[in-house]
Structure 1
């Protein structure tokens, strides 16, 4: 049976099974990579790794699986929609908000150099959840992010820090924590979903 057409797996995804979705993305990684490459310009690929875009699509899909419109789209069509949005977001992040680049880079270096690692994590997560037009709410969200992170388990904090501050791929995080790649991706998606829920009332609007 062709790996792109797996009825049992597709059915589980439509029933909002996160592990099935993670497995489906693994099986169709090549197709997803090809699609992303086809809609991503060379100037963006010069600053963003294709693997990182795939990971962002995977995390976004797992985070929004509960509300996925499978009555309108097949899983791959839905993933491609998410991919288009992530590419647009990446363009905005890297080319539409250059005035914030220096501060963002300082937060990354501070997190990696130690001493302010926790703050670096919060800054990175707020940046990932904040649109370029929502800078005014950043300080409020920073405080709320600190509070939300404190409610996560040590394992969740470790995974998020390794992924979003250190930039490690999920497979490497899985090896460090003694878990499977799928388990780490599910853990990350659920953690990010929890953080988004905690910050829902201060979520920026476009």
Structure 2
């Protein structure tokens, strides 16, 4: 299915029935529309450090892994995808800018450690999923992150290290792991969700 084609009512209904193949076709159909929507959410500053296609692929991976519990009885598929896109853009902005702004010196130290220690990678991950008001619980979350990382498979840990500590694109990670790019994106999305779930009880208020 080509970009910019209008999804048929039959395809939309199959997506509502939580058919993964139908969702894949739907994502192809609305790809250009969604990339345009994502671009409208991004600042020029964010676009200077991330690729729109990478953000769209993350949205797609999140949608595919979350299809079983998607609120498609409440929202049209396009509205659901746009909700995911909004969250991903916020997460990207938080990862690239807010953590550094809160504590630039400490963040630089994290990056310096990332290539040589697991602790550095864990610090980056804590920063990437910590809200702007979360500094008070960072040490507690670091301890919990170390425990949670130990519960991941070796493949999950490797993928996370290559993506978040070494900053490699998912295509290169896929080559190293002998997987497809989509499979790596799904692996990363599931792994990050697993880590976030492990930290739910120490997640501070956004307020």
TM range (shorter): 0.7 to 0.9
Offset at 1:143?
0.6
C-alpha contact 2:7 2:29 (8 A) present in aligned 1: no
Preserved contact between residue 61 and residue 182 of structure 2 (Cα < 8 Å): no
Match of 2:112 among 106, 109, 112: 109
Root-mean-square deviation (Å): 2.9
Q: Which moved more, 1:40-49 or 1:19-28?
A: 19-28
Deviations 1:79-121 (A, max 9, x none): 1122223334444555555132332233123213x2x1x1122
Q: Does 1:182 align with 2:182?
A: yes
TM-score by length of 1: 0.80
Label 1:187 to 1:92 Cα distance change in 2 as closer, same or farther (>3 A): closer
After TM superposition, the score normalised by the length of structure 2 is 0.79
Query: Given that residues 59 and 188 in structure 1 are in contact (C-alpha distance below 8 angstroms), is that contact kept between their aligned partners in structure 2?
Result: no
Per-residue deviation, residues 17-69 of structure 1 (Å, max 9, x unmatched): 66765665466443322111122222332344334433443454456444321
Distance in 1 of aligned mates of 2:176 and 2:77? 31
Aligned residues: 203
Q: Distance in 1 between matches of 2:165 and 2:21?
A: 25
Offset, 1:145: 0.8
CA distance 1:167–1:51, shift in 2 (3 Å): farther
Query: Measured at CA, do residues 37 and 63 of structure 1 come closer, stay the same or move farther in structure 2, by a change above 3 Å?
Result: same
Determine if contact 2:62/2:186 at 8 Å carries over to the other structure: no
Aligned counterparts of 2:52 and 2:105: Cα–Cα separation in 1: 23
Q: Quick check: 150-159 or 5-14, which moved more?
A: 5-14
C-alpha contact (below 8 Å) 2:41/2:86 kept by paired residues: yes
Unmatched segments (≥5 aa) in structure 2: none
Aligned to 1:144: 144
Higher RCO (Cα < 8 Å, 6 or more apart): 1
